[in-house]
Amino acid sequence: MINSSQTLFFDRIVDQISEIGLDFHVNNIFQHAEKNSADVKRSIKQLPALKGNKARTGIVISAGPSLRKKNSIQRIFDSDYQGSIIAIDAAYIACLKAGLIPDYVVTMDPNPTRMVRWFGDHDFEKNTGNDDYYTRQDLDVDFRRNSQEQNRRHIELVNQHGPLSKAIIATSAPRNVVTRIKEARLDMYWWNPLMDDPTRQGSLTRRLYEMNGLPCINTGGNVGTTAWIFANSVLKLPRVAIVGMDLGYYMDTPIEMTQTYYELIHHLGGRENIKGCFKEYEFPLDQQKYYTDPTYFWYRKNLLEMLERAPGKTVNCTEGGTLFGPHIECVRLDRFLEESAHG
């Protein structure tokens, strides 16, 4: 893990992430937004107003390794929680398998081959190819097994329950994701990802807005943070809990199994400095150590910045990971569920 002399090196990588992301995503975002325009019928501004318990609290379900280790979805289902459930795309099938139907499923990543798997992929073999992305997903061993049979089951599950959830979908989503969501009959509510300062001349965000007139959301760099912003600032829920938002890894996860391990080696030009790319944190609730890589560190930094300015209260019920700070309280999921049940 990182030592003090490696901090500068780590920070230098983190500083480059925004630029790498913009450079990588910008063409896909505009191409996808253009192709998706014919399917844009409703924006997130047209979502029906929330009532009763659904308007009081919400749980954002992200897809970090704790979701499985802590059995978070099953515990939410067993508690008969009545508030809003906002799942990210990667957690959607895990929710359905537990019998928990999310009110909203958030998706935005423009990756043309990987994201469709979260809804069941008709081109499973072609899109899986030599890509080991799913073998580095901790959420669900079914996704690691790469089995056709599992994929078929996922397609059926999503087709069966799709009409009960609303897709909160970015115009940057790839066509195969849009087609799958349409096929499974989730109602689609659209938005644009915010990419830069829209008040500046030549802004890419403004260009996107002028194409389709959809509201823009600052994503924090990942779909988990977007789901939280959606709950906090679009649904305007006064109290939001987050589960599965590890933004890091358990200490027994080998660094070779981390999400950007090979990308980091590529970026560094070798394995020599690879250990300096991982930073340890002690989670306050269990006093256990977890570690993070530059990309998750960047997500963490962005989310903590946003939490500072966020209205409403957010509690982290992940029960592990690296997300803690002065503007987010870490509490046990059971405590949140109990408090929510009593208003």
Partner 1 sequence: MEDNLLKGNFEVKKPIKLGDQEKEKSVGEELKKRALGTLGGSMVYMERKHFTWDGDE
The one among 157, 211, 216, 304 contacting partner 1 by CB under 8 A: 216
Q: Which stretch binds partner 1 (CB under 8 A): 20-28, 98-106, 153-161, 317-325?
A: 20-28
Minimum CB distance to partner 1 smaller for 4 or for 199: 199
Q: What is the spatial distance between Cα 30 and Cα 204, in angstroms, rounded to a whole number? A: 9
- Which of 6/260 has CB closer to partner 1? 260
Q: Is residue 310 a contact partner of residue 233, using CB atoms and an 8 Å limit?
A: yes
Cβ–Cβ under 8 Å, residues 39 and 326? no
Q: Select the span of 75-83, 227-235, 244-252, 317-325 touching partner 1 (CB under 8 A).
A: 227-235
Number of neighbours of residue 284 by Cβ within 10 angstroms: 12
Among the listed residues 119, 138, 72, the one whose alpha carbon sits nearest the alpha carbon of residue 334: 72
DSSP 299-337: HHHHHHHHHHH-SSEEEE---SSS--BTTBEE--HHHHH
Of 2-10, 59-67, 190-198, 316-324: span binding partner 1 (CB under 8 A): 190-198
Rule CB under 8 A: is residue 36 a binding residue for partner 1?
A: no
Residue 194 interacts with partner 1 (CB under 8 A)? yes
Helix (H) or strand (E) holding 138: none
The site for partner 1, by CB under 8 A, has a size of: 59
Using DSSP's 3-state secondary structure scheme, residue 59 falls into: strand
- Overall size of the chain counted in residues: 343
| Window contacting partner 1 (CB under 8 A); options: 117-125, 147-155, 202-210, 326-334 | 202-210
Taking CB under 8 A as the binding criterion, the range among 55-63, 142-150, 213-221, 238-246 that sits at the site for partner 1 is 213-221
State the residue for tokens 């807005």.
Answer: 209
Q: In terms of Cα–Cα distance, which of 85, 37, 39 is closest to 187?
A: 39
Q: Does 26 bind partner 1 (CB under 8 A)?
A: yes
Q: Is the CB of 81 or the CB of 230 nearer to partner 1?
A: 230
Q: Residue from 102, 120, 162, 220 that binds partner 1 (CB under 8 A)?
A: 220
Assess 168 for contact with partner 1 (CB under 8 A). Answer: no
| Under rule CB under 8 A, residue 297 binds partner 1 | no
What DSSP state is assigned to residue 136?
G
| Nearer Cβ to partner 1 (108/184) | 108
Cβ proximity to partner 1, 71 vs 111, nearer residue:
111
Q: What is the smallest separation between the CB atom of 276 and partner 1, expressed in angstroms?
A: 15
Stretch that binds partner 1, among 53-61, 74-82, 211-219, 316-324 (CB under 8 A): 211-219
Instruction: Please select the residue that binds partner 1; options are 310, 313, 327, 341, rule is CB under 8 A.
Output: 310
Pairing between β-strand 239-243 and β-strand 57-61 as defined by DSSP bridges: parallel
Strand ranges (E), the chain: 57-61, 84-88, 104-107, 166-170, 187-193, 216-217, 239-243, 249-250, 279-282, 289-292, 313-316, 329-330
Using the rule CB under 8 A, which residue among 50, 198, 327, 339 binds partner 1? 198
CA distance 148 to 73: 24
309 binds partner 1 (CB under 8 A): yes
For residues 315 and 330, give the distance between their C-alpha atoms in angstroms, rounded to a whole number. 6
Structure-token pair, residue 143: 């996704």
- Smallest gap from residue 198 Cβ to partner 1 (A): 5
Task: Give the residues lining the site for partner 1 (CB under 8 A).
Answer: 17-26, 29, 45, 108-111, 170, 172, 193-199, 205-206, 209, 213, 215-223, 226, 229, 232-234, 259-260, 262-264, 266-267, 294-295, 298-299, 302, 305-306, 309-310
